[in-house]
């Protein structure tokens, strides 16, 4: 009992015990991780704007609802091309003494994972509209709006980035919505979030517990087993909306679209693979197909879904037809 009555020995022993635990449980593993892991060769460092955007991401508590980790289970395959590995986080450094950005991996996924959002949603127009008011593009969104990242101007200058906000969300106020530098910096950070390709012949870890598609009906009507409806939801719906009507002044409708229901399949496939920016009244569409690595089966499944939805009655296409066009497009781009 003398030991427990001697506060010097008691607290000294407790301190040494916790110091040893800290050394072996935290410090030595951290040093080992730093020595054995390095950023992937294809990883791109943050630009100055992206770094400032990261500070805004932290300051606004975005990590409370968004993760940046792709788990090795199939339900996470929609968030990245592969499961996350230690090297994906090797470049993460403390912003300062108070902020440890390793915590941006997150623990709560109220909103979507952002690990590969720069590839999944690279559109500047969409990201700005979404920040101004998430309900403009996702009606069911519970994400707060960030109107203080924008300002109203009666006569924007040529250097201003005007945001195409639908009239219903302008609150009856006049003037154009212009993005402040902070909004552009935050979007720059979001656009920088891309899973780096593994080097050489390195094999990516596989997703576990994959769901097996057992019938054509379960696959969304595609003979190849590719679910066109799911691909549309994951890659197209954010802009063109679940009802295919798009957003007036922001993103064009697909319902009754002559591109969707027309006979010029080459233009249709080109837009999916390489994007489109020929209509000033709408935001630019990025080349989603190329960025996401769509196969001919994927593109055919999306086209057939869009041609058979929202009252559209377009001709069904095959993966072989799409592949011929993709091959020609790739040849033209070389």
pLDDT digits (tens, 9 = 90+) for 131-186: 999 999 888 899 999 999 999 999 999 999 999 888 888 888 888 999 999 999 99
HEC profile for the chain?
Answer: CHHHHCHHHHHHHHHHHHHHHHHHHHHHHHHHHHHHCCCCCCCCCCCHHHHHHHHHHHHCCHHHCCCCCCCCEHHHHHHCCCCCCHHHHCCCCCCCCCCCHHHHHCCCCCCCCCCCHHHHCCCHHHHHHHHHCHHHCCCCCCCCCCHHHEEEECCCCCCCCEECCCHHHCCCCCCEEEECHHHHHHHHHHHHCCCCCCCCCCCCCCCECCCCCCCCCCCCCCCCCCCHHHHHHHHCHHHHCCCCCCECCCECCCCCCHHHHCCCHHHHHHHHHHCECCCCCCCCECCHHHHHCCCHHHHHHHHHHHHCCCCCCCCCCCHHHHHHHHHHHHHHHC
Predicted confidence at residue 314, as pLDDT, reads 87
Please state the domain extents for the chain.
48-192, 218-333
Q: Tell me which architecture the domain covering 218-333 has in CATH.
A: Orthogonal Bundle (1.10)
Same fold, 48-192 and 218-333: yes
pLDDT digits (tens, 9 = 90+) for 244-261: 988 877 788 999 999 898
Q: Which of 92-96, 199-203, 248-252 has the lowest mean pLDDT?
A: 199-203
pLDDT score of 215 more than 60 = no
pLDDT score of 216 more than 60 = no
Q: Tell me which architecture the domain covering 48-192 has in CATH.
A: Orthogonal Bundle (1.10)
């Amino acid at each position: 009992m003398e030991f427990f009555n001697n506060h010097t020995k008691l607290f000294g022993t407790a301190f040494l015990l916790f110091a040893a635990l800290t050394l072996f449980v935290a410090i030595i593993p951290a040093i080992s991780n730093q020595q054995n892991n390095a950023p992937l060769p294809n990883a791109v460092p943050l630009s100055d704007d992206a770094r400032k955007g990261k500070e805004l991401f932290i300051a606004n508590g975005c990590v409370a609802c968004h993760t940046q980790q792709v788990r090795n289970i199939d339900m996470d395959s929609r968030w990245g091309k592969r499961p996350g590995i230690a090297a994906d986080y090797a470049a993460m450094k403390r912003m300062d003494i108070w902020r440890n950005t390793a915590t941006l991996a997150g623990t709560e996924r109220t909103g979507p994972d952002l690990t590969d959002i720069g590839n999944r949603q690279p559109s500047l127009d969409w990201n700005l509209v979404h920040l101004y008011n998430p309900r403009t593009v996702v009606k069911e969104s519970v994400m707060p709006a960030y109107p203080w990242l924008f300002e109203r101007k009666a006569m924007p200058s040529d250097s201003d980035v005007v945001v195409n906000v639908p009239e219903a969300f302008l609150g009856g106020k006049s003037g154009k919505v212009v993005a402040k530098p902070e909004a552009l910096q935050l979007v720059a950070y979001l656009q920088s979030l891309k899973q780096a390709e593994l080097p050489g012949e390195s094999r990516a870890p596989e997703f576990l517990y994959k769901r097996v598609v057992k019938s054509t009906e379960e696959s969304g009507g595609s003979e190849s087993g590719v679910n066109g409806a799911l691909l549309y939801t994951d890659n197209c719906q954010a802009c063109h909306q679940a009802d295919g009507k798009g957003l007036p002044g922001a993103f064009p409708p697909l319902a009754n679209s002559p591109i969707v229901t027309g006979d010029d399949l080459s233009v249709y496939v080109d837009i999916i693979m390489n994007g489109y920016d020929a209509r000033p009244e709408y935001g630019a569409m990025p080349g989603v197909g190329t960025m996401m690595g769509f196969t001919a089966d994927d593109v055919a499944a999306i086209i057939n879904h869009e041609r058979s939805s929202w009252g559209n009655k377009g001709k069904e296409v095959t993966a072989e037809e799409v592949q011929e066009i993709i091959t020609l497009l790739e040849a033209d781009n070389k």
